């Protein structure tokens, strides 16, 4: 099972259920909502958890820690929540205290929209065990390094107005956190983390796995 499939089918439903218990039994579903910039625009975004009346929106994260790609993705998600009209509560729901603490720091520094709520979701023991087993398979630690999954992607070329295949490879989080990258499915490769550019989630140019 692909990483995204496992998270979507097993972990996110459990997180939505736990979130419902935190919000007086309100039912949450994945849902596409409009986003408006100063009341204008026709954009939309699919959020992980939205109440039936659209007044509560949450973005869910199973990140073990907040690496640069995950940080940028959650900050983007928080900004998009802020742009949905008529929302009363905006929640970032995570499963790790260290991630919640890092996000709280971003909120204090004014790098997340004000009034963004940060909640730690307590997964049921059996679901938590499944997540940990999945993590062990996805990340194989070797002497302080680990194996990571990277993908080919296309990047928007502002000169031509077209998407062009990059010669780099990047993690899914890196690609999905960028508004100008598009992941190319079926190009997954597992590489030693030492082959990534230090401090980044992608490889050098002209990369061959």
Query: What are the tens digits of pLDDT across the range 1-53?
Result: 456 688 889 999 999 999 999 999 999 999 999 999 988 889 999 999 999 99
Residue written as token pair 């790790």 = 96
Count of other CB atoms within 10 angstroms of residue 103: 23
> Is the confidence at residue 140, as pLDDT, over 60?
no
Structure tokens at 133: 């087993």
Query: In the chain, where do the E strands start and end?
Result: 28-37, 40-51, 56-61, 89-94, 116-120, 141-142, 145-150, 153-157, 162-165, 181-183, 189-192
Q: Which of 8-17, 80-89, 187-196 bottoms out in mean pLDDT, i.e. has the lowest?
A: 187-196
User: What number is the average pLDDT over the span 121-150?
Assistant: 77
Confidence (pLDDT) at 137:
67
pLDDT on residue 71: 85
Q: pLDDT at position 176, please?
A: 86
pTM assigned to the model:
0.66
**Segment 185-190 mean pLDDT:** 92
Q: What is the pLDDT of residues 89-115, one digit of tens each?
A: 999 999 999 899 999 999 999 999 999
Domains and CATH numbers, the chain: 3-126 (3.40.1350), 140-209 (no CATH)
Higher pLDDT residue, 177 or 145? 177
Quick count: other Cβ atoms within 10 Å of Cβ 43? Answer: 12
CA 118/CA 10 separation, integer angstroms: 22
Structure confidence at residue 139 (pLDDT): 57
- Predicted confidence at residue 70, as pLDDT, reads 83
């Amino acid at each position: 099972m692909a990483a995204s499939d496992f998270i979507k089918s097993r972990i996110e439903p459990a997180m939505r259920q736990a979130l419902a218990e935190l919000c007086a039994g309100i039912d949450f579903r994945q849902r596409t909502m409009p986003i408006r910039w100063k009341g204008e625009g026709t954009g939309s975004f699919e959020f992980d958890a939205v109440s039936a009346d659209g007044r509560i929106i949450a973005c869910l994260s199973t990140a073990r820690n907040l690496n640069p790609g995950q940080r940028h993705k959650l900050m983007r998600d928080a900004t998009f929540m802020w742009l949905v009209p008529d929302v009363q509560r905006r929640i970032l729901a995570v499963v790790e205290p260290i991630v919640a603490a890092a996000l709280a720091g971003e909120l204090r520094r004014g790098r997340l929209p004000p009034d963004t709520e940060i909640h730690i979701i307590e997964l049921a023991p059996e679901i938590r065990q499944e997540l940990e087993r999945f993590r062990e398979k996805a990340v194989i630690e070797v002497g302080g390094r680990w194996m990571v999954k990277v993908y080919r992607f296309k990047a928007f070329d502002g000169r031509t107005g077209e998407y062009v295949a990059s010669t780099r490879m990047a993690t899914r989080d890196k690609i999905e956190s960028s508004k100008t990258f598009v992941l190319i499915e079926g190009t997954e490769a597992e590489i030693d983390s030492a082959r990534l550019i230090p401090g980044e989630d992608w490889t050098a140019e002209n990369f061959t796995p």
